[in-house]
Structure 1
Amino acid sequence: MIRYYLKYRCFKMSSNSDKWLRLCFEPKELQLKGTLNGGQSFRWKQIDSEWIGVFNSKLWRIKQYEHGIEFKVYTSNDDEPLVKKQKIIESSCSTDIESIKELRDYFQLDFNLREHYTQWCKADELFNSVANDFYGIRMLKQEVLENIFSFICSSNNHISRISSMVEKLAIFYGKEICSYNGSTYYAFPTIEALNQDGVETKLRDNGFGYRAKYIANTAKIIAEKGGNKWITALQAMPYKEAKSELMTLTGVGAKVADCICLMSLAHTSAIPVDTHVYQIARHYISDMPKQKTVTDKLYQRIGDHFRKLYGPSAGWAQTVLFCADLKKFQARD
């Protein structure tokens, strides 16, 4: 474990209780801004030079610098009554190595992104034209359950509203982690917490609309399938089987299933096709018909084109194009 810690040149910035930890890697292997606000995860916000967010039931503060990232991590204190949890509990030195491993896994830093960018630039002029500005866009390795419900919330929605809904789910049904800078942060709820009477009504009363029913029904289905045992089995399934299994959930169509396959199940060839990706695909497929909805046949054709163009990790490459297109779209608003 110590060899792993030193291998990646990770060290404490100071020995006091207000320390920042540093995780080092090659330049341009990770861009926090493009990765954390590109529509993958909805629990991150930027405050000045920091990104603050929740994953693995912990609160993380992360800052970018040229050769890596600096971070602090906070966890809950189960020994104190809930009403007294006002002071943040910071990660101790004994868990520094564990926290570094969690970050490496979350950002999938063992995936050599610069090497793949070089290949994708050679394969595609459009990718080459955006690669310099949209460098270091990585796929996050997210918790399956949170990803399922987050993308159910994404149906006919925009990022700020999706973020609000996901945060409400955590506040209503998640476990409190800590309070920091005037805000209280919560872990994403368990399937047991979401599978209880009154969830649909409460969510509908709080602005979830038709998604309230989708969330309540899906929580019930997952619980009936075995809960965490079903998630473990899902993680072991091949791509097509996992996608089909996900589509048995209420509110999970092909696009949402592919998001979950790509972002939580390590199926790097999954291509989620939405209106942005459809418009990007028109750049490549000259005879593609203009239509308001993407048929199953067209969905498959678009995905196959990107997989042929970029290879086994096409989902990563397509995400870079998605982020570039999303930036243009936001600039027009």
Structure 2
Amino acid sequence: MQKAFNIKAREFDLEATMYSGQTSQPPWHKNGKYYSELLIIDNKPSLVTIKQEDNKLHVKIESPEKVPLSEVKEKLNHIFDLKFDIEGFYDFLSSYPPLDSIVDYSRGLRLFLAKDIFECIISSITSANCSIKRWTKAIDNMKRLWGQKYTFSKGTFYSFPAPDVLANLDDDSLRLAGVGYRAKYIRKTSKRITRIKLDVMDYDEAFHLLLKFPGIGPKVADCILLYGFRKLEAFPVDVWIKKIMEHFFSVDDRHLRDFAREEFGEYAGYVQLYLYDYARKSGIFGGV
């Protein structure tokens, strides 16, 4: 099956979203203006290729079986959070000095949500104390080494390995992917993570449960909840967010998360995303 169609994408910057460092997944495979990735649609492996032109996404899908186009559209609307009222968010920022100017650096940036929840969990663990370049390469290596292989007209793509696959590897094998000391955390968490249902929990319950897993501290837990489960009150705090929040606000490090949830409410996750992007692009602290 091969089909093509368009999706409306107003106030959306595909490239900025792909390369914003969100820990849901690595950027999709780029070829010119096109981005391609293996998605599982209706339990069928499907190669989805997209290109942005103005306020539209041009979408091509290739699959060995017939796939409902409505489900492809729903999946893409979810992954790129295209139903989010981003103009309402911009109105919030414009009415909230000193954050009223940060949108100028990041207009069109949206959440890049998980296509595979387990991949997001492992990506977030792998990202701890690690550059964007290194953790995205490690995740791609894990897919190539232990994922399921699918061949399409545009090439070979790999799924992310299942939890039991990673759980049964030893630490030395996992380090081959480039995860370093995080190997033991990945292996141990892979053994336990399928037993929980984070999607049906409220934010606080899910956050405190995640902290019990190896390799998951407050920042990683919030990354998982924001990019994996779209819990928008999540506010991942790393060294760059600490610096940028100190730049704009007078708040103790220990209370940053609580402050953000109280001040920004349902926009907390998006504020964090835009603050991180501002820190990267403005150059006020050097590179991220």
Q: Under a length normalisation based on structure 1, what TM-score does the superposition of the two structures give?
A: 0.76
Question: Contact 2:47 / 2:152 at 8 angstroms: preserved in 1?
Answer: no
Query: Which residue in 1 is equivalent to 2:20?
Result: 38
How do 1:171-250 and structure 2 match up within 5 A? 171-179=144-152, 181=154, 183-196=155-168, 198-222=169-193, 227=194, 230-231=195-196, 233-250=197-214
- Does 1:129 find its partner at 2:83? no
- Does 1:22 find its partner at 2:6? yes
User: Cα–Cα, structure 1 residues 201 and 74, in superposed 2: closer, same or farther, change >3 Å?
Assistant: farther
User: Cα–Cα, structure 1 residues 331 and 283, in superposed 2: closer, same or farther, change >3 Å?
Assistant: closer
SS at match of 2:68: helix
SS at match of 2:161: coil
Aligned AA for 1:66? D
Query: Which residue in 2 is equivalent to 1:260?
Result: 224
Residue 269 (structure 1) shift: 0.7
Match of 1:155 among 117, 128, 132: 128
Query: Which residue in 2 is equivalent to 1:86?
Result: none
Question: Contact 1:269 / 1:307 at 8 angstroms: preserved in 2?
Answer: yes
Q: Distance in 2 between matches of 1:47 and 1:101?
A: 24
Residue 66 (structure 1) shift: 1.3
Unaligned runs of 5+ in 1: 1-16, 78-90, 289-297
Residue 328 (structure 1) shift: 4.0
SS at match of 2:49: strand
Aligned AA for 2:61? V
Q: Distance in 1 between matches of 2:275 and 2:5?
A: 32
Residue 165 (structure 1) shift: 0.7
Q: Distance in 1 between matches of 2:277 and 2:90?
A: 15
Q: Distance in 2 between matches of 1:325 and 1:332?
A: 8
Match of 2:244 among 270, 273, 280: 280
Residue 148 (structure 1) shift: 0.7
- Does 1:164 find its partner at 2:164? no
Q: Distance in 2 between matches of 1:331 and 1:286?
A: 21
Match of 2:55 among 67, 77, 81: 67
Q: CA RMSD in A?
A: 2.4
Higher-Rg structure is 1
- Does 1:141 find its partner at 2:95? no
Q: Distance in 1 between matches of 2:143 and 2:81?
A: 25
SS at match of 1:39: coil
SS at match of 1:178: strand
User: Cα–Cα, structure 1 residues 111 and 202, in superposed 2: closer, same or farther, change >3 Å?
Assistant: same
Residue 192 (structure 1) shift: 2.0
Q: Distance in 2 between matches of 1:22 and 1:268?
A: 27
Unaligned runs of 5+ in 2: none
Q: Under a length normalisation based on structure 2, what TM-score does the superposition of the two structures give?
A: 0.87
Aligned AA for 1:191? P
User: Cα–Cα, structure 1 residues 262 and 206, in superposed 2: closer, same or farther, change >3 Å?
Assistant: closer
User: Cα–Cα, structure 1 residues 65 and 219, in superposed 2: closer, same or farther, change >3 Å?
Assistant: same
Q: Distance in 2 between matches of 1:34 and 1:191?
A: 30
Match of 1:49 among 33, 38, 62: 33
Residue 331 (structure 1) shift: 7.1
- Does 1:326 find its partner at 2:272? no
Q: Aligned residues: percent identity?
A: 28
Residue 19 (structure 1) shift: 5.0
Residue 305 (structure 1) shift: 2.6
User: Cα–Cα, structure 1 residues 54 and 37, in superposed 2: closer, same or farther, change >3 Å?
Assistant: farther
User: Cα–Cα, structure 1 residues 327 and 47, in superposed 2: closer, same or farther, change >3 Å?
Assistant: farther
Question: Contact 1:175 / 1:188 at 8 angstroms: preserved in 2?
Answer: yes
